[in-house]
Copies of this chain bind each other. A is one copy, B any other.
Amino acid sequence: MRVLLVGAGGVGTAVTRIAARRPFFDLMVVADYDPARAEATVAAVGDPRFRAERVDAGDEAAVAALLARHGCDVLFNATDPRFVMPLFRAARTAGASYLDMAMSLSRPHPERPYEECGVKLGDEQFALAAEWEKAGALALVGMGVEPGLSDVFARYAADELFDEIEEIGIRDGADLTVDGYDFAPSFSIWTTIEECLNPPVVYEKERGWFTTAPFSEPEVFDFPDGIGPVECVNVEHEEVLLVPRWVDARRVTFKYGLGREFIETLKTLHLLGLDSTTPVTVSGADGPVAVSPRDVVAASLPDPATLGERMRGRTCAGTWVRGVKDGQPREVYLYHVVDNEWSMAEYGCQAVVWQTALNPVVALELLATGGWSGSGVLGPEAFPARPFLDLLTEYGSPWGLREQ
């Protein structure tokens, strides 16, 4: 397998470190808009199978040319979601497979944003599904940890643990803290604001997909491995759009364990208009300047990419399922926990970033070895779950099942 990895940020770098320990691929070209970043990532991994390149992820033709030049058979998108569509199209143009960890962006319903969906996450990609199918080509979408592993868990529950499923609820929580800071998100505040203030999407069999107001349906979920109870709220996330396409369930939700303090902080930012990306005018050193309040919020907080060494605690991704097995009610939580001290010591990667990078590498290996195959635009739940979960354990990062 010959891979073009686009994006040498935190996740891209972790991908190289995880993949370097596996024999399934022959070449991984690491391409970034900033060539120095790509080169540093490749140099750090010290493996002749890796090569650095410069590419603008928004330049479809340049990406397709790069795929052709290196004879890559798969494009692995590790950039931010704004670049999903150009990369997705470039892969199709070049005849390569495609893999991403977040899907094409949504746009709220213009009149009823908190009741009806507008353009949904992934809609632009699924609109081209027939083209991929016809070509016998595969786009594996939403294949990180959440979405990704969480979708694999949903399929596993449907195949092996339940006869009927009432609800599938992805639940994400952590007890990560950052030494020396009273408040330091372990992920991009800019993106978190975007995710959390978009109208959350919910799926119900009778109703289809619909939206709610931000922070709806708060619940306290008890996370395993000592993380404990964390307040979770509905957030717009790919699983709610992916799972119902392949798994039969009455209801699908995604709730993010932001915790009370963080939820209140985001609400306050929204109340004050500080989540806005519409520029406001303030005085700068050389006269008035227009700046985005959200950019100022992000700039006032420490850069999460630099906090790995100061972080403590664990992050948990998982899928809670409630339904019936053998005529009896059943409820399980399938989960995967990463301890930051472990991921820093073992891979030099922050836990959330490492957990995101791990799963697409496992998926690539399954595609390379034939454990997974298919064509069209497919989510992780379109494939058999068991080979994925077994390989995950072989990677040294086992998952867990808790009967509730």
A residues 252-274 touching B (CB-CB < 8 Å): 264-265, 268-269, 271-274
* Chain B residues, CB < 8 A from A182: 271
**A43 an interface residue at 8 Å Cβ cutoff?**
no
A280 nearest in chain B by CB position: B299
CB pair B296–A280 under 8 Å, yes or no, is yes
**A289 an interface residue at 8 Å Cβ cutoff?**
yes
* Chain B residues, CB < 8 A from A285: 279, 290
* Chain B residues, CB < 8 A from A282: 291-292, 295-296, 298-299
- On chain A, the number of residues with a Cβ less than 8 Å from chain B's Cβ atoms is 30
**A283 an interface residue at 8 Å Cβ cutoff?**
yes
**A119 an interface residue at 8 Å Cβ cutoff?**
no
* Chain B residues, CB < 8 A from A183: 271-272
CB pair A301–B283 under 8 Å, yes or no, is no
A residues 211-253 touching B (CB-CB < 8 Å): none
A349 to chain B, nearest CB (A): 26
* Chain B residues, CB < 8 A from A404: none
Q: How many copies does the complex hold?
A: 2
CB pair B291–A272 under 8 Å, yes or no, is no
Given that A183-B272, A264-B264 are known contacts, is A300 also in contact with B280, CB under 8 Å in the complex?
A: yes
A369 to chain B, nearest CB (A): 44
**A328 an interface residue at 8 Å Cβ cutoff?**
no
A18 to chain B, nearest CB (A): 32
**A380 an interface residue at 8 Å Cβ cutoff?**
no
CB pair A296–B291 under 8 Å, yes or no, is yes
Q: How far is the CA of A281 from the CA of B285 in the complex (A)?
A: 11
Q: How far is the CA of A79 from the CA of B293 in the complex (A)?
A: 29
**A23 an interface residue at 8 Å Cβ cutoff?**
no
**A327 an interface residue at 8 Å Cβ cutoff?**
no
Given that A265-B268, A268-B268 are known contacts, is A274 also in contact with B297, CB under 8 Å in the complex?
A: yes
CB pair A291–B301 under 8 Å, yes or no, is no
**A93 an interface residue at 8 Å Cβ cutoff?**
no
**A276 an interface residue at 8 Å Cβ cutoff?**
yes
Candidate in A289, A292, A300 with the most chain B CB atoms within 10 angstroms: A300
CB pair B271–A274 under 8 Å, yes or no, is no
A residues 296-323 touching B (CB-CB < 8 Å): 296-301
Q: Which of these, B268, B271, B274, B289, contacts A291 with CB under 8 Å?
A: B289
A281 nearest in chain B by CB position: B299
Q: Which of these, B265, B284, B293, B300, contacts A276 with CB under 8 Å?
A: B300
Q: How far is the CA of A282 from the CA of B284 in the complex (A)?
A: 11
Q: Which of these, B264, B272, B284, contacts A300 with CB under 8 Å?
A: B272
Q: How far is the CA of A279 from the CA of B274 in the complex (A)?
A: 16
* Chain B residues, CB < 8 A from A293: 296, 299-300
Q: How far is the CA of A268 from the CA of B264 in the complex (A)?
A: 9
Q: Which of these, B265, B273, B284, B295, contacts A283 with CB under 8 Å?
A: B295
A182 nearest in chain B by CB position: B271
CB pair B300–A274 under 8 Å, yes or no, is yes
* Chain B residues, CB < 8 A from A271: 182-183, 265
Q: How far is the CA of A280 from the CA of B182 in the complex (A)?
A: 19
Q: How far is the CA of A291 from the CA of B281 in the complex (A)?
A: 10
A283 nearest in chain B by CB position: B295
A299 nearest in chain B by CB position: B280
A181 to chain B, nearest CB (A): 10
A13 to chain B, nearest CB (A): 24
* Chain B residues, CB < 8 A from A284: 284, 289-291
Enumerate 5 A-B pairs (CB-CB under 8 Å) in ascending A order.
A265-B268, A272-B297, A274-B296, A276-B300, A291-B291
* Known pairs A280-B296, A283-B295, A289-B291 / 8 extra A-B pairs, C-beta < 8 Å: A182-B271, A183-B272, A265-B268, A272-B297, A280-B299, A282-B299, A284-B290, A293-B296
